[in-house]
Amino acid sequence: MTTLAATAVLASGAMAMAPAAGAVGSSKCNSNFSNTDFDVLKSNASLRTGPSSNYSSKGHLAKYTKFYYYCEYTTKSTSWYYGKILTGAHKGTKGWVYAKYIGLRKP
């Protein structure tokens, strides 16, 4: 996992490091059902480091990219799925995708 931190130069010329916003894995999940293969149903859906648009994007996913679902984070107003990308440019990458963008492709 790559962690980034912000660096600032203080008035005295010294440098200060701000803590990085870390990625959130399955520890954020509050709901789980059997592991399932889904499809990304929206072009350019963001793959994120955590379950919110406030988390960094790891990249964008093409429509019909295969997504292996592990678990989800759900509140009264939103749901995010955590899983692993199985196809495409981000194959093998784990991350979060907004649940409304994930589903089963209709034949």
Contacts of 77 (CB under 8 A, 6+ apart): none
If one counts the domains in the chain, the total is: 1
What CATH number did the domain enclosing 29 receive?
2.30.30.170
18 lies in a domain? no
- Residue 77 pLDDT grade (very low, low, confident, very high; cuts 50, 70, 90): very high
91 lies in a domain? yes
Question: What would the mean pLDDT of 65-79 be, rounded to a whole number?
Answer: 93
Q: What is the pLDDT of residue 33?
A: 67
pLDDT tops 70 at residue 107: no
The whole domain housing 43 covers 24-103
d(CA 46, CA 36): 20
52 lies in a domain? yes
66 lies in a domain? yes
**Number of alpha carbons in the 13 Å side-chain half-sphere of residue 19:** 3
Minimal CA–CA distance to 69: which of 107, 22, 101?
Answer: 101
DSSP 85: E
Choice among 8-12, 16-20, 94-98 with the minimum mean pLDDT: 16-20
53 lies in a domain? yes
Contact between 83 and 91 (Cβ < 8 Å): no
Place of tokens 């859906």: 45
63 lies in a domain? yes
